[in-house]
Each structure stands twice: as C-alpha cells, then as structure tokens.
C-alpha cells in the first residue's frame, strides 16, 4: 500500500523550526525598535544641548566676567599626589570660597601661601605714575611668574589702583578663582567668591565702543553696570570677542609667560553654580605682586 506524502514546497517546514524563526524575527524587530528609540532620544538630547549652548553660552561667559556666586552646586572631587579632596554642597554652604580653595591641593606642586589679609580701602592713594611711565607687574603664582605690562596712558586711574592694591599686599595669597582655558583667566578677589572688591570702585575708562579684546589683553571685570570695576581682572586667552561685547576697562598686556599660562590652563576644573566648568580643583594662588615703574 502506497503512502501519500505531503507535497514539498518552499513554505513547508517542521512546526518547531518555523516557530523559532518567528520568535527570532520578532526579537530582531524589537531590538531594531529599541535602537531607533535610543537614537531618537540621543538626537533630542543633542538638539537640546546645542540650543542651550547657543542661547545661554554668551550669558554664562558674560556672567563669568561680571562676578557672582562661585560655590559649586554638586559634589566635586580632586585627587593629587594621593590626596583626595571632596567638596559637598553642605560644605559649600558653610564655608567661604577661600576656605574651599585652601582645603584642596595647591596646583603645580607648590606650597599654599598664607591666607590673604582682610583689607578694604575708601579709595586708591595716588601712586604718582606719569602717563608715559613704563609700569610692569610681576605676579608670582603657584605655577610661576606672570608678567603684565600696564598702560597708564590707556587707563590712568585703573593702573594707579592696581599698583596701589599690589603695593598694599591686597592680592597676596588670593586664589585665581576662575580658569576658562578657551576664554580667560580671572583673579583679583581675595575671598575667591567672584564678587569681592577692595571697598571702592573705579570710574569707567573705556576705549571707543566696539573695541576688541585680543589674546593677552588685561582688563577689569565688572558687574555690567557703570562704575562697577574694583579689583578683579582677567587675562584674555583666546580670540573670543563674541562674548566680550560689553565694555571692560583695558589697562595692560600679558608679556611672555606662556609656560605659566599653559600650566594654569591645564589645572583640573569643576563646575560652579553658574554652570561654568571654570573652578580650579587644584588651587592656583597669587603669592605676591612686584611693581616696577620706570
């Protein structure tokens, strides 16, 4: 007796094998769906990040030069030579910023200098600097000497004030509280908070509106209001005039010092409350300032 066999065709296969193929195909489709979802999320986050950078970038950089609270929002940790320093939000709330700087390693293997003196003045005393004088300020920092050539013909009262404060020891022991490697280095506030001043403010000695700020220029920070420059100053590190649209008192130039500037730019950085990754996690101090007038 002949047995009848099922006719062979391409779609015919044992049931268990067909079921496995269905399951494999379903699993593959699910993986593809999840991958597409993840890609969509990444694109969304990237688009949001770009939008925030475009809208807020200039504001954050401008705030950087305008002073403000420099305490970190979140825990930051720095490890140097086997020593780990962690700063929590609670510690930030109960300590001045100088204490935060003093509680972490000193940059470039240097020794932490004595704390800055608590000095305030009603006004800068006249330093008898002629308009055509050559004024040099050598800032001895934790990472080496920074030489500035000040220009009394450009901003006489600002140069007079800087020389006065330096001779009084106002800057000695103060931290360089913000380092923005692609923008500026900012210092001149012994408290390290970012809004300190010597007790008086300078008249605005602005150049013509629209003046650019070139690499190596030295200018005074302000609070974006007239007559609000005090003791804080910044050194321009990169061509970034888009974020220097407001006027600042330009009063000097950086002379050489490239190795020292590079060492400071290489210091590890954490975030401050403004969202800037510019707070040094290894403290760079201005140990002293030597003035020469010739």
C-alpha distances in angstroms, 169 versus 153, 162, 172, 174? 24, 11, 5, 10
Among the CATH numbers 1.10.540.10, 2.30.110.10, 1.20.1050.10, 2.40.100.10, which is that of 66-293? 2.40.100.10
Residue 145 has pLDDT above 70, yes or no: yes
**CA 240, 242, 243, 247 torsion-angle sign:** positive
CA distance 246 to 224: 7
- What are the extents of the domains in the chain? 66-293
Q: Which pLDDT score, from 0 to 100, does residue 82 have?
A: 37
Integer-rounded Cα Rg, in Å, for the chain is 29
Residue 76 confidence (pLDDT): 37
pLDDT of 211: 75
Average pLDDT over residues 163-171: 98
Q: What is the mean pLDDT of residues 157-168?
A: 98
Helix, strand or coil for residue 56? helix
What per-residue confidence (pLDDT) applies to 208? 75
pLDDT in tens, 13-22: 445 656 666 6
pLDDT tens digits, one per residue of 221-279: 998 888 999 999 999 998 765 556 678 999 999 999 999 999 999 999 998 777 889 99
pLDDT number for residue 207? 82
What's the whole-number average pLDDT of the chain?
77
pLDDT tens for residues 78-103? 333 333 344 444 444 334 589 999 99
């Amino acid at each position: 007796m002949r047995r009848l066999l099922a006719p062979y065709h391409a779609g015919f296969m044992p049931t268990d094998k067909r079921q496995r193929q269905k399951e494999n195909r379903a699993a593959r489709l699910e993986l593809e769906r999840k991958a597409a979802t993840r890609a969509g999320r990444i694109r969304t986050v990237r688009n949001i990040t770009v939008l925030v950078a475009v809208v807020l970038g200039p504001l954050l950089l401008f705030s950087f030069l305008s002073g403000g609270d420099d305490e970190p929002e979140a825990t930051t940790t720095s490890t140097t030579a086997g020593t780990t320093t962690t700063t929590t939000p609670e510690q930030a709330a109960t300590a001045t910023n100088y204490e935060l700087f003093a509680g972490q390693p000193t940059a470039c293997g240097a020794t932490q200098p004595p704390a800055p003196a608590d000095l305030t003045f009603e006004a800068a005393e006249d330093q008898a600097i002629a308009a055509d004088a050559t004024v040099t300020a050598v800032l001895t920092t934790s990472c080496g000497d920074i030489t500035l050539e000040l220009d009394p013909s450009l901003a006489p009262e600002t140069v007079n004030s800087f020389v006065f404060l330096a001779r009084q020891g106002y800057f000695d022991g103060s931290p360089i509280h913000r380092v923005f490697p692609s923008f500026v280095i900012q210092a001149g506030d012994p408290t390290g908070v970012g809004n300190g001043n010597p007790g008086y403010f300078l008249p605005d000695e602005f150049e013509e509106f629209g003046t650019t700020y070139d690499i190596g220029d030295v200018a005074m920070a302000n609070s974006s209001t007239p007559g609000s420059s005090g003791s804080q100053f910044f050194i321009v590190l990169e061509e970034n005039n888009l974020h220097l649209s407001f006027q600042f008192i330009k009063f000097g130039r950086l002379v050489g010092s490239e190795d020292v500037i590079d060492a400071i730019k290489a210091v590890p950085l954490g975030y401050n409350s403004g969202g800037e990754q510019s707070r040094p996690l290894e403290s760079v101090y201005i140990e002293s300032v030597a003035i020469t007038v010739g």
